[in-house]
Amino acid sequence: MKLLHTSDWHLGRALYGRNRYEEFEAFLDWLHETLISQGVDLLLVAGDIFDTTTPSTRAQELYYRFLHRVANSRCRHVVISGGNHDSPSFLNAPKALLRSLNVHVTGSVSGNPEGEVVVLRDLQGNPEAVLCTVPYLRDRDIRSVEAGESMDDKTRKLLEGIEAHYREVCRLGEEIRSNLSSFVPLVATGHLFAAGGRSIEGDGVREIYVGSLARVTLQTFPDTIDYLALGHLHIPQKVGGMEHIRYSGSPLPIGFGEARQEKKVVVVSWSGEHRTVEEVTVPCFQPLERVSGTLEAILGRISALKAKGSRAWLEIEYSGDEVISGLLALLEESIKGSRLEIRRVKIRRVAAQSLERLSEHESLDELNEVEVFQRCLDARQVPAVERPLLLEAYREVVQSLHEEDLFLQ
């Protein structure tokens, strides 16, 4: 029995307004080829298949076309569990149809733990694995609300609910396995934040429970589990140093914070009760690079990238002391004739100066968006005659963002 563990595809995610469908397609093509070359029997996807609960038609097309291709390969099974970015109803809608392709989907808990236990069979019809397909456990799925609860009470009940859910689903899985005549692995999935898990700034990972305290420990998971495939954190890693409890990480860098991170999928094999775990590196389909420093340093790095024929997308952070008029135009001019793209420009000094203007009796939380913007204008010493037009444009941008947030809600 051989499985491949992946998660956090985030199909449909853009990067500062730039769509990434070519990257997603290239990854799925590579993954299909890897399933074949590695002789994988089971593909496990541990949540966050899509980036939003309302994925675009292009993202859906990539998803269903990939599943169709896998169904026609030697990989016999696909097991998909939902993440916090996924819509449970969207994932579950084609569930019965996908079962005919040996694709098992668990978008959310159903109230019946038996529905999360799947017995996979080989070509002769013999059991070859028992799967406990636990999806992202939403607060309402595992915790009852009582009047007068403190945050500590809520956190404790969340952790108790997660542990109780795993205990019950794995008990059912172990009960099935104990009645089999030969050993088969008990494999579980999960989408959560494990205590001690590593994440980095700008990776898009957000806390999934109120209070940011509900991070599960190793004791949450029954020791009957032979392999636990986790999703949510984007850095490939073991949990508590345990070889069989792992995050595969995201296959693509979700933001510039992950630009230098080596991406992985995990391949797990059993020969009888003997287990081997191997990480397989995912190719970089679109280079990302952060460039920071003075204007001279930034232009020097861009020149070096152009000389190498790089096609990287750039996040630029200017940290010089001089206020440079038309900085963006200068940067755009510097990449002409190359395949480089500038996706974001930050000016560190202006932000720092703006915050320095807070008095000892002020905090950033006490200022609204317009007041913060006015501090930025002060820091840049923008002439009074230019401010009304800038303020009007800024208010329009802020309003459009608020409207977008309401639409997404």
pLDDT value of residue 136: 93
What CATH number did the domain enclosing 392 receive?
A: 3.30.160.720
Amino acid occupying residue 136: Y
Of the residues 244, 265, 281, which one is the last residue of a structural domain?
281
Of the residues 281, 315, 336, which one is the last residue of a structural domain?
281
Measured between alpha carbons, how far is residue 83 from residues 10, 169, 249, 343 in Å? 10, 18, 13, 28
Residues 19 and 141 in one domain: yes
Residues 181 and 324 in one domain: no
Residues 51 and 146 in one domain: yes
pLDDT in tens, 324-382: 888 889 999 999 999 999 999 988 765 555 555 555 445 554 566 777 888 888 887 88
Overall domain count for the chain: 2
Kindly report the pTM of this predicted structure.
0.82
What CATH number did the domain enclosing 161 receive?
A: 3.60.21.10
Two tokens, residue 303: 């020149």
pLDDT value of residue 348: 74
- Rounded to whole angstroms, the Cα distance separating 247 from 236 reads 5
Going by C-alpha positions, the residue among 184, 146, 187, 188 that lies closest to residue 163 is 188
**How many other C-beta atoms can be found within 10 angstroms of the C-beta atom of residue 116?**
25
Amino acid occupying residue 133: T
- Rounded to whole angstroms, the Cα distance separating 104 from 232 reads 20
Q: DSSP string covering 323-390, please?
A: --TTHHHHHHHHTTTSS-EEEEEEEHHHHHHHHHTS-TT--GGGS-HHHHHHHHHHHTT--GGGHHHH
Residues 194 and 96 in one domain: yes
Residues 227 and 123 in one domain: yes
Provide the 3-class DSSP secondary structure of residue 203. coil
Residues 47 and 195 in one domain: yes
Residues 306 and 366 in one domain: yes
Q: Which residue has the tokens 């208010």?
A: 395
Of the residues 253, 281, 309, which one is the last residue of a structural domain?
281
pLDDT along the chain (409 residues), means of 10: 97 93 98 97 97 94 97 95 94 94 94 92 94 91 73 81 94 95 95 81 53 70 96 94 95 91 96 95 96 93 96 93 85 94 83 52 58 83 85 71 41
- Any residues with CB less than 8 A from the CB of 346 and at least 6 apart, and which? 315, 316, 317, 318
Residues 277 and 164 in one domain: yes
Q: Could you tell me what percent of the chain has a pLDDT over 70?
A: 88
Q: DSSP string covering 215-237, please?
A: -B-GGGS-TT-SEEEEES-SS-E
Which residues constitute the domain of residue 311? 288-408
Q: Which residue has the tokens 């149809």?
A: 97
- Rounded to whole angstroms, the Cα distance separating 190 from 132 reads 9
Residues 266 and 235 in one domain: yes
Residues 236 and 350 in one domain: no
pLDDT in tens, 135-168: 999 888 877 767 777 777 777 888 888 999 999 9
Residues 296 and 248 in one domain: no
- Rounded to whole angstroms, the Cα distance separating 148 from 285 reads 51
Give backbone dihedrals phi and psi of 232, rounded to 5 degrees, phi first: 120, -50
- Any residues with CB less than 8 A from the CB of 172 and at least 6 apart, and which? 113, 114, 117, 132
